Structure 1
Amino acid sequence: MTPPRTALAAGLLALAVLTTGCVAGTSAGAPSAAADQPFEGEVEFWTINLKKNFNDYVTGLITQYQKDHPKVTVKWVDVPGQDSATKLLAAMASGDVPDAVNLGSPDLGRFIPSLAPMDDYFKPEELADFQPNLVAPLRQDGKLYGVPWYNGGAPVAMYRRSVVSKAGFDEKAPPKTYDEALALAAKVYDETKVYGINEIPGPSVVSVLRYYGVTLLSEDRKKAAFNTPEVAAIIERFKKSYDEHGIAPGSVSKDVRALPQSLDNGQVAFTASANGSTLVNIQKNAPDIYKDLVVTEPVQTAGGGYLLNAQQTFTIPKASKHKKAAAEFIKFFTNGANQLAFCKIVPIYPSTISSTKDPFFTGTGGTEPMDVARQVIVKGLPKLEYTPMGTAKDTELAESLAEEIRAVFQGQKSVKDALDTAEKNWNDALV
């Protein structure tokens, strides 16, 4: 029996690389006549940590695909999450590669040199159902290296009504920028002695700085570009809020999944931008706080959008001998109907426009926090901005900068020293 959506949210959404797959088919180098022939043979499809919770969903899709392609046999292999990157790197090095690979977008830049452009296999009309704002970031140097699968949705803001109301919070006019959020956080602490927020340019440094329109890398992606007076002023602004208790002290923790002060334990008044799945844990662990929450649109970028930190994608290795067959399977696995079915199992959001027009998404009109969150998230999907740095070391670079910012908040370094060190670390890593 398929597990309920709420029980699966935290585990599924925490995966940076969820699945990998492999499909057999005609060789891209074969004559055009052979390429037009239907593929006959075995399709090997890898996933990561799906079998335990999603066996019914995946095997159901495999059964349907085999029914529609009676000469194709799909072999499903499920790989432990901790082995996924190592296994894929080993496959790339050996040349014995899978044909269709699901990558978390933060890893895309790392593998692009070993991936095949997908433009030859996906016509514009076959990409038309995907949100354009989710497809565009998967292009590099004009070439498409992946197609979107699912994501965590647009972020939402959550406010504890009983606390923020004492600071003059207007539910119809929530903060639209981080500066406005910091101002509200200061008022909240002054009036209630409850910490305002947890957000700092630490673990989410790349995201927070991008909301301010900061350019992190040079155009050629070979040098850091964030060491500027403007960025120093942003960090000083957050540090001031931290020192004055608008930002909670535990925000410097590396473990953002278990911060000492949180909405769950009642020690934080609001979050200006968070994944909607957070509501699942709050409803379960702190039902009284859940009932007190006001859910609104989150803070916005300068362009009025919302940042997406990551999305799940499907890619095709350059060394694959069966690129066309891989693309055909990817088209099936990521189509609107199949994405909608997955969204009904776990609280994730689709990359396909048609899925969001289903009553499952459009029919939500309730006033419960999660009902409102779904409305905010679906409305915000077309406004999502996913702009990866696109290097082979995106995760490493973000953590390096975050470590320096933590040192600032903990009084161990000046802002200038931290940015100078982070800049050098980035430039050394990008050589």
Structure 2
Amino acid sequence: MTRSALAAGALALSLFTTGCVAGTSTQSAAAPADDQPFEGQVEFWTINLKKNYSDYITGLIGQYQKEHPKVTIKWVDVPGAESATKLLAAVASGEVPDAVNVTSVELGRFVPSLEPLDAYFGQAELADFQPNLVDPLRLDGKLYAVPWYNGGAPVAMYRKSVVSKAGFDDKAPPTSFAEALALADKVYDKTKINGTNSIADHTTLRYHGVPLLSEDKKKAAFNTPEALAVLETYKKSYDKHGIAPGAISKDVRNMPQTLENGQLAFIPSANAAQLLNVQKNAPDVYEDLVVTEPVKMSSGNYLLLAQQAFAIPKASAHKKAAAEFIKFFTNGVNQLAFCKIVPIYPSTVSSTKDPFFTEAAGDDPMAVARQVIVKGLPKLEYSPLGTNKDAELAEYLNEEVRAFLQGSKSAEEALDAAEKRWNDALA
């Protein structure tokens, strides 16, 4: 699923209609003096991690509290579907966490309620972070979040026992979505198993070289003959069942047809973290997987959809203490430890120099995924739309594409409607 990533977080977008957050405080609580050690509780939030990574996080909390015996860390883990609404409610009430896990896609809409971090994270504190991951978290010259983890370069996952019946060669996997759709159609024709869940959404349009926004970011730019042709290509595959019928589901975390339930043959571009779900929920399928390089953008590169980051709300009374905990939580050693649990990619340069990445070997899907990720890093592009409504705009376009695939609109009508919704939102 090209739209799904542990790094992206799948937030409840419909509750936001503007780029500002109601109840935002314009006052910033004063940070404690440098010579006054903090004593008290720091509350921090993560998104959908407690179920699988509780031991890792509680271990870090225990270590930090041991090193700072007068500090208590309160961890709150928020389900992905509730993270935006919960943070919105917290900001409106003034009862905010001190450090909050946000996705880069949602950062823009929360900026009015976040504290600029430049006073807490200087050049030395940011030195180990990859600059191309830090820079997109700056708005109007101010740093509003610190990068944590991301999906790294994408990977492709194929069920060998299924795709082999359609002539798949793991030494020459599809290099474009056009080739992937052709394989998907052939897979269904030969096996009656749906090929893939990929649809012509905002992500795949970018892979096809279709620009989404005008250069000034004030108008939609995707309503073009090129985009029309892309949509028509995906519709043909959808009608042939190469694309699974459930691919139009709005809940990308719970698709009806998946690798885990045996109703899908492959994912041409995926976050490697999805391997963990397959390994846990369908070990037989995991053993059947071959991991390869994913499809590429028309530029020959890969697109990083989002990254997870930490921010500090303006209304926090413990900003300096929150910043100190974020520095510890996101340091290179702790990010590397997280990467050893789940196939994600760190935002710290030092982590990538560990043998875990540089000497990854073997044919286990996760080991292969690490090799693919490291090899693909030079080709990784992280270029968000850059508006304060990125997630909202993406969903507008995806809704219209789903309507087109279902047959309730023509491709022209879908693109026209999406263009109008974008322009209205950006006006």
Give the TM-score normalised by structure 2.
Answer: 0.82
Q: Distance in 2 between matches of 1:95 and 1:341?
A: 34
Q: 1:215 to 1:195 in 2, by over 3 A?
A: same
Q: CA deviation at 1:209?
A: 1.4
Q: Residue in 2 aligned with 1:147? A: 146
Alpha-carbon distance, 1:337 to partner: 0.9
Partner of 1:37: 35
Residue 138 (structure 1) aligns with:
137
- Once structures 1 and 2 are overlaid, which stretch shifts more, 45-54 or 244-253? 45-54
**3-state secondary structure, aligned to 2:212:** coil
- The structural deviation recorded for 1:217 is 2.5
Q: Evaluate the alpha carbon distance shift between residue 277 and residue 144 of structure 1 in structure 2; reply closer, same or farther with a 3 A threshold.
A: same
Aligned to 2:360: 364
Within 2, Cα distance between the matches of 1:282 and 1:55? 19
Structure 2 partner of 1:428: 424
- Counterpart in the other structure of 1:175: 174
Q: Give the superposition deviation at 1:64.
A: 3.3
> Structure 2: how far apart are the matches of 1:212 and 1:140?
28
Q: How does 1:9-408 map to 2 (within 5 A)?
A: 15-16=9-10, 35-48=33-46, 54=53, 56-69=55-68, 72-78=70-76, 80-81=78-79, 84-93=83-92, 97-190=96-189, 194-201=193-200, 205-320=201-316, 322-408=318-404
Q: Distance in 1 between matches of 2:7 and 2:68?
A: 32
Measure the CA separation in 2 of the matches of 1:150 and 1:386. 13
The 3 A distance-change label for structure 1 pair 341 and 183 is same
SS of the aligned residue for 2:157 comes to strand
Amino acid at match of 2:37: F
Offset at residue 271 of structure 1 (A): 1.8
Q: 1:400 to 1:115 in 2, by over 3 A?
A: same
The share of aligned pairs that are identical, in percent, is 68
Task: Tell me the distance in 1 between the aligned counterparts of 2:181 and 2:143.
Answer: 39
Q: Contact 1:401–1:422 (CA<8 Å) still a contact in 2?
A: yes
Offset, 1:13? 6.6
Of 412-421 and 141-150, more deviation after overlay is shown by: 141-150
The Cα of 1:43 is off from its aligned counterpart by 4.1
Distance 1:284 1:229, change over 3 A: same
Structure 2 residue aligned with 1:21: none
Once the two structures are TM-superposed, the CA of residue 86 in structure 1 deviates from its matched residue by 4.0
Q: 1:430 to 1:188 in 2, by over 3 A?
A: same
Residues 285/51 of structure 1: CA separation in 2 closer, same or farther (3 Å cut): closer
Whether the aligned pair in 2 keeps the contact of 1:176 and 1:298 (CA below 8 Å) is yes
Q: Using the TM superposition, name which of 283-292 and 229-238 deviates more.
A: 283-292
Q: CA deviation at 1:129?
A: 1.9
Mapped to 2, the partners of 1:150 and 1:349 lie a distance apart of 6
| C-alpha distance 219-51 of structure 1, shift in aligned 2 (>3 A) | same
Query: Which secondary structure does the structure 2 equivalent of 1:376 belong to?
Result: helix
The question of whether the paired residues in 2 share the 8 Å contact of 1:131 and 1:382 is answered with no
Kindly provide the amino acid, as one letter, of the partner of residue 280 in structure 1.
Answer: L
Over the aligned positions, Cα root-mean-square deviation in angstroms equals 3.2
Partners of 1:112 and 1:414 in 2: CA distance: 37
Contact persistence 1:16–1:104 (CA under 8 A): no
3-state SS of the aligned residue for 1:375? helix
Question: CA separation in 1, counterparts of 2:93 and 2:264?
Answer: 50
Q: What letter corresponds to residue 61 of structure 2 in structure 1?
A: I
C-alpha separation between the residues in 2 aligned to 1:126 and 1:360?
24
SS at structure 1 position matched to 2:409: coil
Q: What is the CA-CA distance between 1:335 and the residue it aligns to?
A: 0.1
Deviation at 1:284, TM superposition (A): 4.8
Contact 1:16 1:106 in 2 (8 A): no
How far is 1:420 from its partner?
A: 0.9
* Cα distance in structure 1, aligned partners of 2:329 and 2:178: 42
Does the residue aligned with 2:268 lie in a helix, a strand or coil?
strand
Q: Give distance in 1, aligned partners of 2:399 and 2:371.
A: 36
Counterpart AA for 2:249: S
Superposed CA deviations along residues 160-211 of structure 1, whole A, max 9, x for unmatched, are 334434444332222222122223334444555544322112xxx1211121
Per-residue deviation, residues 26-68 of structure 1 (Å, max 9, x unmatched):
x8868xxx85435332242222466666554444433433444
1:162 to 1:65, Cα distance in 2 relative to 1, 3 A: closer
Aligned residue number for residue 24 of structure 2: none
Q: For the residues of structure 2 that align with 1:35 and 1:163, how far apart are their CA atoms?
A: 63
Indicate if the aligned counterparts of 2:218 and 2:426 stay in contact, CA closer than 8 A: yes
Unpaired runs of at least 5, structure 1: 1-9, 18-26
TM-score (ref. length: structure 1): 0.81
Q: Which one is further off, 260-269 or 124-133?
A: 260-269
In structure 2, how many angstroms separate the alpha carbons of the residues matched to 1:250 and 1:89? Answer: 31
Partner of 2:20: none
Runs (5+) with no aligned partner, structure 2: 12-27
SS where residue 116 of structure 1 aligns? coil
CA–CA distance in 2 between the matches of 1:179 and 1:209? Answer: 12
Distance (Å, rounded) in 2 between the aligned partners of 1:327 and 1:88: 18
Classify 1:108/1:273 alpha carbon distance in 2 versus 1 (closer, same or farther; 3 Å): same
- For the Cα contact (< 8 Å) 1:50–1:78, is it kept in 2? no
